[in-house]
Amino acid sequence: MPAKQEPDALHKMRHSLAHVLAQAVLKLWPKTQITIGPPIEYGCYYDFLFSKPISEEDFPAIEKEMRKIINQGQTFRHEDLSPADAKKYWKEKKQPFKVELVEDLEKNEGVKKVSHYANIGPKGEETFVDLCRGGHVENLKEIPADAFKIMTLAGAYWRGDEKREQLTRIYVAAFPTKKELNAYLALLEEAKKRDHRKLGKELDLFTFSDLVGPGLPLWTPKGTTLRNLLDGFVWELRQAKGYEKVTIPHITKKELYETSGHWEKFQNDLFHVKTREKHDFAMKPMNCPHHTQIFASQQRSYRDMPQRYAETTTCYRDEQTGELHGLSRVRAFTQDDAHVFCREAQAKEEILKIWEIVDTFYATVGFGKLRVRLSLHDPNAMEKYLGKPEVWKRAEDELRSIAKNRKADFFEAQGEAAFYGPKVDFIALDAIGREWQVATIQLDMNMPTRFDLYCINEKGEQERIVMIHAAIMGSLERFLSIFIEHHAGLFPLWVAPVQVALLPVAAPHEDYARTIESQLQEEGIRTQYLDPAESLGKRIRAGETMKIPYILVMGDKEVSDKAVAVRNVKSKQQVTVPFSEFLKKTEDDIAERRLEASIG
Amino acid sequence: MPAKQEPDALHKMRHSLAHVLAQAVLKLWPKTQITIGPPIEYGCYYDFLFSKPISEEDFPAIEKEMRKIINQGQTFRHEDLSPADAKKYWKEKKQPFKVELVEDLEKNEGVKKVSHYANIGPKGEETFVDLCRGGHVENLKEIPADAFKIMTLAGAYWRGDEKREQLTRIYVAAFPTKKELNAYLALLEEAKKRDHRKLGKELDLFTFSDLVGPGLPLWTPKGTTLRNLLDGFVWELRQAKGYEKVTIPHITKKELYETSGHWEKFQNDLFHVKTREKHDFAMKPMNCPHHTQIFASQQRSYRDMPQRYAETTTCYRDEQTGELHGLSRVRAFTQDDAHVFCREAQAKEEILKIWEIVDTFYATVGFGKLRVRLSLHDPNAMEKYLGKPEVWKRAEDELRSIAKNRKADFFEAQGEAAFYGPKVDFIALDAIGREWQVATIQLDMNMPTRFDLYCINEKGEQERIVMIHAAIMGSLERFLSIFIEHHAGLFPLWVAPVQVALLPVAAPHEDYARTIESQLQEEGIRTQYLDPAESLGKRIRAGETMKIPYILVMGDKEVSDKAVAVRNVKSKQQVTVPFSEFLKKTEDDIAERRLEASIG
């Protein structure tokens, strides 16, 4: 890649653009109070306190001002001020948020010098000063003036604290080239059409309630059908490999996580529960520690190994409200989790079995071949992990050899391991080119030591076992957000919550339509009857909006021919076939879990 | 019933016996400090602080002393003391707990006179004095001296506070006749053999972990199989009646319960969660408020009614550790819950459908005809309930008319309603004569008002709907404790976690046994293979302890005859039959969900 496009260069460009944004805003509205403005994934933002509200209509003026600043070829000049001088400076500038930031740096971090950057205009004049650690372009001209765009306004509390001032955040998209910006904008446009939050509503799959709270989706009958069909498929694949279901409670004493090591690492992310007897409980953020307790409830002989426990169950994390997003980031998420307790010599075979399940599952639900990331520990940060380097090496070598054995398209990533062991992470590519981490297989040689898990081997000795953690969909909520957007709501027939819509043209065709309906239902096909109270056109549109794979229209001709006029909503084709043919092909498509419906 | 056996007379007898117990203890160990001693369900108890520990070996001496006191024909004399006199009296007697009780009565209840009862011996002497509100027999001779028995010792904190003194509680069983006492002791003996905690371990159904905490069962593969089979049966019955599954998170903002009214009534029983953003969340103690939010997520037409939501999901209550008991009283319990949202005119039909499910379910799982309690509100305590008296009357009349219509064996109980509506509670009789409240159907005309739930009726108007709450097993954990004890672990074949044990006599019969195993597994029959590493006798005993319905033994003769020697563990019969016959009959028994296995 050319140097200009290096992530670091991109970061500097976006960071510099945040300064440009703030400078432009102050030029247009000099009384604005400025706060902070970091680079982000696709550009940058800056938070302001405006003296009067701005709107999207102001974007062109701001962009124009930003381009003017860029084209002036301003540079950056660094200056360290003493905290006292810095506070004095910002007080004079009537920028109280900056004063507060300086005070905090002084009080909490004991800073003696406060780093500032000034922009210098063409005549050597200071055009804008910000409190900043640095990391900028040399000259603002390095920022491509045609490859950024102000995207949106959003409210944001100062320091994320709802008791403080509400600020206005301006988001800017910024890329190295105009082409890349346009590609990003087109992707956004396509993603917007497929947005799972929009489709979730149109297809009546899930809902959020103000009374229940953000990040806590409630699943309607249709959404629950979808979840359960996908989860049932995972279970079918697992059952064939000897898995058994177990059931655990969703809370625990904190002692469980002290033993597992999760308490030390993740206690701030947990929902904490204080009981009436003043005990510390927590809602479970993962299932492995609970599952160890089922394994440990009996003495296990080598003849009992492996023990394979599967459970689809909900975990909880105390996410910040601002970070929640549809089903992608929630506070309660359901994992299709499994833990295999086995002898070290059995690990390879067990991992290969899971790998097979992952491949079958993702191919069947419509994703192409998955990329594989071997997520390894960071040997320079051993304090982040449980266990000894030699145990890590053994586990990582094992996974690498398995990945080679599977001839996987894999790459290695240091520092991406779980704190208890290395992982194989699977990455799916969606229909609009986005990559998503989905399934995971984790080899854990540490947790069994912490929980003292063993089996009695052939010699009658206690033998330390290993654990394999595996999730196929991972979080069902997150997976469904990907799945819904990948298919744009047009699901494969077997998994569609409603498979067939029944539309009698008018009252005289209702008897026939009802007969068709019961024959379909007898075969377990999920139907929705749209009676002639509404016009045919309106009902067809309703069926299309709900993305019901087949819309069957039945009028005089269909009644007399024992046929159905079939609209295939995905292919947009329409054909008329004998009902018996429709039924036969539909049953086949469902039984075979085919991706595309055969008719139309 | 004769007057002596009236609940009130029984209560007086047991209460008087607690005085006798304390008197006997003081006679034997005069330095003992006495506290309180109420009557209980099967007798009474008294809490003491002994100066040196006592043991079960002391029971005969205490009983002997108690009989002596009874036979003296002591009477009771009432006396009111001023708080000052009472405190003085108890200080002199060196009974500091009584002093504390008097102080509390004075301080917290503003009592001016403290009621005391003295026992008067044959010579008119005071034999024992206790602080007591009264309710005694006239003469201790009324206590049948041959119908009580000291049962156990237990530790108990003074006032249930673990920071206070640990006392010794002596439990006494006491009945109107020796025959009733003996019947009670025999029941206890039988119940002990069937204790679900003991069988849960022997059958490997569930476990508790010290790290996870008390009241939080973890279900093993076998226990999970049992749960899921029962729950799957309930779902099958519900699906046939038009129910749909939904899925809700296990937490919520407290606003949901403020709206439902649960917050005001039950906030002390909830697990409270304080989020990092300082919001008040709670773990759900029931599901109805969440389910209303799914109903409310769309505008509903009268054509969409009823909406029937079913969900098997876990609820949480912050129970005190001392009140937990096996699966009967837990902190996390799973409800097979359902809510029907319907028009008032549809309620009767919907309730009758649920009633049918209840009857079918309980007959199939082996309980006889259920008794029915119509649980009504208490018109003298309207402050305990939501809504207006006329709404209650309408709902209760509706349930009464349905119960009559079903020709149910029903009785009415005032004050037993839920706070939002009256209930039909079903009561099962178990194999050893104990009654258990199991299923429930609740008609709720109040919650829909609080959540403003309506449908658009034929006239285009908003019409207030009603809700029906229904659980078939209720809490799965509690139901399973009853189910395990009722069957003493010898479950009907269709629901047994392992249905068939396979025991080749010796190594040469293993091939045959493995063939039989795979043929059974192909038909979905759950098997466990017990290989000849252990002696045949030991394996048979293991199969019996695990209560596997069929133990198949296979030796030379069975191999050559293509037969199996079948031990029916419940009937204790043994027969040899062709394997084909075994397979056919077993498949039939399972498909028909027969209570008794056909072979042996």
Classify residue A240 by its DSSP letter.
Answer: T
Amino acid at A326: G
* CB < 8 Å to B315, chain A: none
B166 to chain A, closest Cα gap in Å: 17
Contact status, residue B392 vs residue B385, Cβ threshold 8 Å? yes
Contact status, residue A41 vs residue A187, Cβ threshold 8 Å? no
Q: What percent of chain B has pLDDT over 90?
A: 88
Position with higher pLDDT, A264 vs A307? A307
The pLDDT score that the predictor gives to residue B409 is: 86
Burial class from Cβ neighbours inside 10 Å (0-12, 13-18, 19+) for residue B531 reads middle
Q: Tell me if A246 and B298 make a contact (CB, 8 A cut-off).
A: no
Q: For residue A200, give the nearest of A28, A12, A328 by alpha carbon.
A: A328
DSSP β-bridge partners for residue B81:
B114
Contact status, residue B173 vs residue B184, Cβ threshold 8 Å? yes
The pLDDT score that the predictor gives to residue B1 is: 32
What's the longest Cα–Cα distance across chain B?
92
Q: Tell me if A245 and B256 make a contact (CB, 8 A cut-off).
A: no
* CB < 8 Å to B279, chain A: 213
* CB < 8 Å to B221, chain A: 244-246, 309
Model confidence over B355-404: pLDDT tens digits? Answer: 999 999 999 999 988 999 999 999 999 888 888 888 899 889 999 999 99
Mean pLDDT of A8-20: 94
Q: Which domains does chain A have, with CATH numbers?
A: 9-194 (3.30.980.10), 209-249+285-486 (3.30.930.10), 493-591 (3.40.50.800)
A445 to chain B, closest Cα gap in Å: 20
Mean pLDDT of B150-176: 93
Contact status, residue B39 vs residue B14, Cβ threshold 8 Å? yes
Burial class from Cβ neighbours inside 10 Å (0-12, 13-18, 19+) for residue A288 reads buried
Model confidence over B508-527: pLDDT tens digits? Answer: 999 999 999 999 999 999 99
Q: Is A111 on the interface with B (CB under 8 A)?
A: no
Torsion of CA A445, A451, A452, A454, to 10 degrees: -70
Structure tokens at B167: 């006392």
- For testing contact with chain A, the best of B218, B262, B327, B539 (most A CBs within 10 A): B218
The pLDDT score that the predictor gives to residue B182 is: 96
Mean pLDDT of A53-77: 96
Rounded to whole angstroms, what are the CA distances from B575 to B327, B525, B572? 37, 20, 10
Of B213, B244, B256, Cβ closest to residue A252: B213
* CB < 8 Å to B162, chain A: 277
Mean pLDDT of A283-300: 97
Model confidence over B457-504: pLDDT tens digits? Answer: 999 999 999 999 999 999 999 999 999 999 999 999 999 999 999 999
**pLDDT higher than threshold 60 for residue A376:** yes
Q: Which of B337, B425, B430, B444 is catalytic?
A: B337
**pLDDT higher than threshold 50 for residue B2:** no
**pLDDT interval class at A89 (50, 70, 90):** very high
DSSP β-bridge partners for residue A119:
A76, A128
Instruction: Indicate if A44 belongs to the active site.
Output: no
Q: Tell me if B332 and A250 make a contact (CB, 8 A cut-off).
A: yes
**pLDDT higher than threshold 70 for residue A4:** no
DSSP string, B25-84: HHHHSTTPEE----EETTEEEEEEE-SS---GGGHHHHHHHHHHHHHTT-EEEEEEE-HH
Of A247, A293, A531, Cβ closest to residue B224: A247
Instruction: Indicate if B423 belongs to the active site.
Output: yes
Amino acid at A279: H
Q: What percent of chain B has pLDDT over 70?
A: 99
Q: Please identify among residues 153-172 of chain A the ones whose CB lies closer than 8 Å to any CB of chain B.
A: 162
Handedness of CA A161, A163, A167, A170 (dihedral sign): positive
Q: Which of A130, A336, A337, A444 is catalytic?
A: A337
Q: Tell me if A293 and B256 make a contact (CB, 8 A cut-off).
A: no
**Cβ neighbours of residue B419 closer than 8 Å, sequence gap 6 or more:** B261, B265, B384, B385, B386
* CB < 8 Å to A309, chain B: 221
Mean pLDDT of A116-131: 95
Contact status, residue A423 vs residue A417, Cβ threshold 8 Å? yes
* CB < 8 Å to B223, chain A: 247
Angle between helices B510-522 and B579-591 (to 10 degrees): 30
Instruction: Measure the CA–CA gap between A467 and A292, rounded to whole angstroms.
Output: 9
**pLDDT interval class at A74 (50, 70, 90):** very high
Q: Tell me if B252 and A216 make a contact (CB, 8 A cut-off).
A: yes
**pLDDT higher than threshold 80 for residue B7:** no
Q: Tell me if A225 and B207 make a contact (CB, 8 A cut-off).
A: no
Contact status, residue A549 vs residue A568, Cβ threshold 8 Å? yes
Instruction: Measure the CA–CA gap between B61 and A210, rounded to whole angstroms.
Output: 66
Angle subtended at Cα A516 by Cα A515 and Cα A521, rounded to the nearest 5 degrees: 100
Of B228, B249, B314, Cβ closest to residue A245: B228
Model confidence over B391-422: pLDDT tens digits? Answer: 899 889 999 999 998 888 899 999 999 988 99
B387 φψ region: left (φ > 0), alpha (ψ -120 to 50), beta (else): left
**pLDDT higher than threshold 80 for residue B347:** yes
**pLDDT higher than threshold 60 for residue A297:** yes
- For testing contact with chain A, the best of B201, B211, B253 (most A CBs within 10 A): B211
Mean pLDDT of B525-549: 95
Torsion of CA A300, A301, A305, A311, to 10 degrees: -20
Angle subtended at Cα A405 by Cα A400 and Cα A411, rounded to the nearest 5 degrees: 45
Taken as a whole, chain B contains a residue count of 600
Q: Please identify among residues 332-351 of chain B the ones whose CB lies closer than 8 Å to any CB of chain A.
A: 332, 334
Mean pLDDT of B106-119: 92
* CB < 8 Å to B231, chain A: none
Instruction: Measure the CA–CA gap between A310 and A339, rounded to whole angstroms.
Output: 7
**Cβ neighbours of residue A339 closer than 8 Å, sequence gap 6 or more:** A287, A288, A291, A292, A308, A309, A467, A468, A469, A470
Contact status, residue B563 vs residue B557, Cβ threshold 8 Å? yes
- Which has the minimum average pLDDT: A104-118, A460-474, B15-29? A104-118
Q: Is A304 on the interface with B (CB under 8 A)?
A: no
**pLDDT higher than threshold 60 for residue A165:** yes
| Cis status, amide bond into A176, omega within 30 of 0 | no
Instruction: Indicate if B300 belongs to the active site.
Output: no
**pLDDT higher than threshold 90 for residue B110:** no
Torsion of CA B30, B31, B36, B38, to 10 degrees: -30
Instruction: Indicate if B589 belongs to the active site.
Output: no
Model confidence over B258-273: pLDDT tens digits? Answer: 999 999 888 889 999 9
Model confidence over B285-305: pLDDT tens digits? Answer: 999 999 999 999 999 999 999
The pLDDT score that the predictor gives to residue A594 is: 97
Mean pLDDT of B93-102: 96
Q: Tell me if B294 and A220 make a contact (CB, 8 A cut-off).
A: yes
The pLDDT score that the predictor gives to residue A109 is: 86
Q: For residue A597, give the nearest of A571, A574, A575, A579 by alpha carbon.
A: A571
Q: What percent of chain A has pLDDT over 90?
A: 88
The pLDDT score that the predictor gives to residue B309 is: 98
**Cβ neighbours of residue A252 closer than 8 Å, sequence gap 6 or more:** A281, A282, A284, A289, A290, B211, B212, B213, B216
Instruction: Measure the CA–CA gap between B347 and A273, rounded to whole angstroms.
Output: 39
**pLDDT interval class at B3 (50, 70, 90):** very low
Which residue from A minimizes the CA distance to B273? A273
Instruction: Measure the CA–CA gap between A513 and B334, rounded to whole angstroms.
Output: 40
Q: For residue A427, give the nearest of A348, A364, A354, A367 by alpha carbon.
A: A367
Mean pLDDT of B57-79: 96
Which residue from B minimizes the CA distance to A273? B273
Angle between helices B347-364 and B389-405 (to 10 degrees): 50
Q: Tell me if A273 and B272 make a contact (CB, 8 A cut-off).
A: yes
Instruction: Measure the CA–CA gap between A479 and B62, rounded to whole angstroms.
Output: 68
> What pTM does this model have?
0.84
Strands (E), A200-329: 206-207, 218-219, 244-245, 251-253, 272-274, 280-283, 307-316
Contact status, residue A441 vs residue A350, Cβ threshold 8 Å? no
- Tokens 């505008």 found at: B299
Termini Cα distance of chain A: 46
Of A221, A245, A320, Cβ closest to residue B277: A320
Q: Which of B132, B288, B342, B455 is catalytic?
A: B288
- For testing contact with chain A, the best of B208, B274, B286, B294 (most A CBs within 10 A): B294
Q: What is the 3-state secondary structure (H, E, C) of A7-74?
A: HHHHHHHHHHHHHHHHHHHHHHCCCCEECCCCEECCEEEEEEECCCCCCHHHHHHHHHHHHHHHHCCC
**pLDDT higher than threshold 70 for residue A145:** yes
Instruction: Measure the CA–CA gap between A259 and A244, rounded to whole angstroms.
Output: 25
Residue B282, SS3?
strand
**Cβ neighbours of residue A135 closer than 8 Å, sequence gap 6 or more:** A11, A12, A15
B527 to chain A, closest Cα gap in Å: 13
**pLDDT higher than threshold 70 for residue B528:** yes
Q: Tell me if B212 and A271 make a contact (CB, 8 A cut-off).
A: no
Instruction: Indicate if B130 belongs to the active site.
Output: no
The pLDDT score that the predictor gives to residue B4 is: 39
Q: Is the ipTM of this complex over 0.95?
A: no
Amino acid at A452: D
Mean pLDDT of B152-166: 90
Instruction: Indicate if A339 belongs to the active site.
Output: yes
**pLDDT higher than threshold 70 for residue A526:** yes
Q: For residue A587, give the nearest of A514, A525, A496, A501 by alpha carbon.
A: A525
**Cβ neighbours of residue B87 closer than 8 Å, sequence gap 6 or more:** B99, B102, B103
Q: Which of A44, A288, A342, A455 is catalytic?
A: A288
Q: Tell me if B283 and A212 make a contact (CB, 8 A cut-off).
A: no
**pLDDT interval class at B5 (50, 70, 90):** very low
Of B162, B212, B320, Cβ closest to residue A290: B212
Contact status, residue B335 vs residue B312, Cβ threshold 8 Å? yes
Q: Please identify among residues 520-549 of chain A the ones whose CB lies closer than 8 Å to any CB of chain B.
A: 531, 533
Mean pLDDT of B238-245: 97
Q: Is A289 on the interface with B (CB under 8 A)?
A: yes
Which residue from A minimizes the CA distance to B319? A276
Q: Tell me if B293 and A318 make a contact (CB, 8 A cut-off).
A: no
Model confidence over A475-490: pLDDT tens digits? Answer: 999 999 999 999 999 9
The pLDDT score that the predictor gives to residue B507 is: 95
What is the C-alpha R_g of chain B? 29
- Tokens 């993740």 found at: A266
Q: For residue B203, give the nearest of B485, B568, B598, B592 by alpha carbon.
A: B485
What's the longest Cα–Cα distance across chain A?
92
Structure tokens at A93: 């500038």
Contact status, residue B550 vs residue B597, Cβ threshold 8 Å? yes
Of A268, A309, A321, Cβ closest to residue B277: A321
Kindly report the average pLDDT of chain B as a whole number: 94
**pLDDT higher than threshold 60 for residue A171:** yes
- Tokens 């039945």 found at: A554
* CB < 8 Å to A274, chain B: 272, 274
Kindly report the average pLDDT of chain A as a whole number: 94
The pLDDT score that the predictor gives to residue A2 is: 37
Instruction: Measure the CA–CA gap between B360 and B237, rounded to whole angstroms.
Output: 8
**pLDDT higher than threshold 80 for residue A6:** no
Q: Is A15 on the interface with B (CB under 8 A)?
A: no
Q: For residue A75, give the nearest of A116, A120, A115, A11 by alpha carbon.
A: A120
The pLDDT score that the predictor gives to residue A245 is: 98
